[in-house]
Structure 1
């Protein structure tokens, strides 16, 4: 394989990855809050909107691992990431141009298919570069969380000024910047292409034991993501206060990503997972029992641990996967460990909240309690430094 020339030798590798994460998560921050409003503006009924979103999620679960396997087989995931982001730049515009349920359903499935590998491939490349070049993965990943907040604010202003469809063009621009950032990533030596297939990551005990932990801990956020705002509105909190509570959680997450490397080094992957499970148990117990604003403000700080600590722990495990399996492992983890579990739990969260209201958060706390003993199984499967710093 010929030696690849660095396309952007002046810009430091950490900054290039920070720009990559900032661009792609800006697109997420624009679409996540407002895509349902765009679909409603295009004339879809609530049932049709749910069908479009569910179909997109199903396609994502299937497409991400398949494309990740292909990236490992090719041997240079940068090219796959660049192509995926470039295609997503165009497919997302279909949400603004498409008319009718059938057309928008097709757009959603196509966009989900090409966009599915962008985040996990970015993680895989950033982890490989951080190991080789010695920079802090969490610090560059914090750029994505920060841009998510800013993009959501900008999108809200755009919707207020120009209507919901404006966010589609903003998202397309963000994805175009993602493709440009992918083009500027530093070349990394590869193992010449992995050929072991989808089963290869499952041969690693640490990978097998990570999946249920991610499913339980990250999946426990389903009720919060789906019904947290509605719950707080019913408790009498104003939209501005609710917005600040959401922002507080992401700001805490950014802080962990920026300054949490010593904690990760000390606790290791299993310790970070245990910290995430304990924080989730406490956080969801608070939300189940009270809507008192000071208690909620304290609980929102725990987002740094319930989400962020689990993410950093998972990245530590995935970063230790054998050469030729990194992209496959990342996409399988994103699809099975996080995506599938979160989707099923989000589906279950509707009836749960309808019957129990805020008390339904006790079920989310229960998921974190189930995760705690599994952290010991992960510790046993890891080499000493990854397990405990």
Structure 2
């Protein structure tokens, strides 16, 4: 890495940010189940932050592009995420928890799209090295998944909110260490909407964003019910934590080779292949998760369904939008991910009890397959 690049400070922030996701994705549904909520209520509560992701990133993205103060938005978003979350210690009834999920996620979703733009600005012409910075987020995810999984073998889920609050405060502290970008973007108070809309009309761009929504919809059952699904089959919480970690470890290995992969394959090839492998992954997870060898393969496919898809998507957005619109492009990516994730959490919450795991994951597989076909037909070859 270049000596000018604040590699460890950027990487440290990704570590802390995705450490929080490592506590949310595998264990939030388990915590709500511990509180006694039904599958439908769990799906609704988990869908709320994803629905907030549909709105918040666009507001913060517009503000970041207009003001140029992305780092300030990141820091305030991280701080108010922690402050809003403290309400979970007051009450745990459904309506109060719904309010807490909405309030803290409004600020949480201000953070990542702006930080992605900050990272790319620091990287400059070295943007192909993005994956080498981002992989530390995956390391943070693994640290929380494994650590919290083992911790919950000893303690009850009552400790869960305190652990999450501690990680949120760590995100804020890490944001304070990140330096401003070398050349802060100028303020554009007169940014025309037409300019951004024109970029959306480029060949395949709108279909790309639709496919992002479908990809995240297909992940809805995975992020909402994987832990409960594996626990019902007979896997221990410690092993489940290790299985979550295996998926992210595969993602880290992919990140290490991503620069070479980007040089060899087009973004279209990477995006479409990721969607098709996601479809295969969900069909297998719904029907063959009781076979440990198959389950290991399913988790290794996380390298494609999240790793390669995310990196290719970040590069696609960077190539498709101008510098002055990067914040809005990243925000739209986050918003469409939120729409898809929310719909995925909602449908899986309602279908889990009535249709069962196989059908719930089967619907996810169909969604990813449809997205892959659409993107293959819509995107130019290069």
Match of 2:301 in 1: 302
Q: Take 2:364 and 2:92, find their aligned partners in 1: how far apart are those partners?
A: 39
Question: How far 1:140 sits from its partner (Å)?
Answer: 1.2
Residue in structure 1 matching 2:191, options 176, 192, 196: 196
Q: Which runs of 4+ in 1 moved over 6 A?
A: none
Per-residue CA distance 1:265-318 (angstroms, 9 max, x = gap): 221321110120221233233334434322222232111012211111110112
Decide whether the 8 Å contact of 2:22 with 2:144 is kept in 1.
Answer: yes
Match of 1:72 in 2: 65
Q: Are 1:367 and 2:361 an aligned pair? A: no
Q: Take 1:165 and 1:93, find their aligned partners in 2: how far apart are those partners?
A: 14
How does 1:21-32 map onto structure 2 within 5 Å?
21-32=14-25
Structure 2: gaps (5+ residues): none
Decide whether the 8 Å contact of 2:43 with 2:345 is kept in 1.
Answer: no
Q: Are 1:340 and 2:339 an aligned pair? A: yes
Distance 1:96 1:375, change over 3 A: same
Per-residue CA distance 1:206-256 (angstroms, 9 max, x = gap): 532321121223322223333334444454545454443322211111111
Match of 1:221 in 2: 219
Question: How far 1:334 sits from its partner (Å)?
Answer: 0.9
Decide whether the 8 Å contact of 2:211 with 2:374 is kept in 1.
Answer: yes
Describe the SS at the equivalent of 1:92.
Answer: helix
Structure 1: gaps (5+ residues): 1-8, 381-386
Distance 1:143 1:292, change over 3 A: same
Per-residue CA distance 1:306-359 (angstroms, 9 max, x = gap): 2211111110112222122111111221112x1111211222224444325425
Decide whether the 8 Å contact of 1:218 with 1:306 is kept in 2.
Answer: no
Decide whether the 8 Å contact of 2:29 with 2:224 is kept in 1.
Answer: no
Match of 1:208 in 2: 206
Distance 1:357 1:105, change over 3 A: closer
Decide whether the 8 Å contact of 2:149 with 2:241 is kept in 1.
Answer: no
Decide whether the 8 Å contact of 2:229 with 2:357 is kept in 1.
Answer: yes
Q: Take 1:236 and 1:224, find their aligned partners in 2: how far apart are those partners?
A: 17
How does 1:153-302 map onto structure 2 within 5 Å?
153-159=146-152, 163-188=156-181, 189-194=183-188, 195-196=190-191, 200-204=195-199, 205=202, 206-290=204-288, 291-302=290-301
Residue in structure 2 matching 1:96, options 89, 101, 105: 89
Match of 1:384 in 2: none
Aligned residues: 372
Decide whether the 8 Å contact of 1:26 with 1:151 is kept in 2.
Answer: yes
Q: Take 2:229 and 2:33, find their aligned partners in 1: how far apart are those partners?
A: 23
Q: Take 2:71 and 2:366, find their aligned partners in 1: how far apart are those partners?
A: 40
Question: How far 1:38 sits from its partner (Å)?
Answer: 5.5
With 131-140 and 327-336 compared, the bigger mean Cα shift is at 131-140
Distance 1:193 1:91, change over 3 A: same
Q: Take 1:362 and 1:39, find their aligned partners in 2: how far apart are those partners?
A: 24
Q: Please, what is the CA RMSD of the aligned residues?
A: 3.1
With 231-240 and 296-305 compared, the bigger mean Cα shift is at 231-240
Decide whether the 8 Å contact of 1:220 with 1:368 is kept in 2.
Answer: yes
Decide whether the 8 Å contact of 1:190 with 1:324 is kept in 2.
Answer: no
Decide whether the 8 Å contact of 2:43 with 2:346 is kept in 1.
Answer: no
Question: How far 1:21 sits from its partner (Å)?
Answer: 0.4
Decide whether the 8 Å contact of 2:41 with 2:349 is kept in 1.
Answer: no
Distance 1:134 1:233, change over 3 A: closer
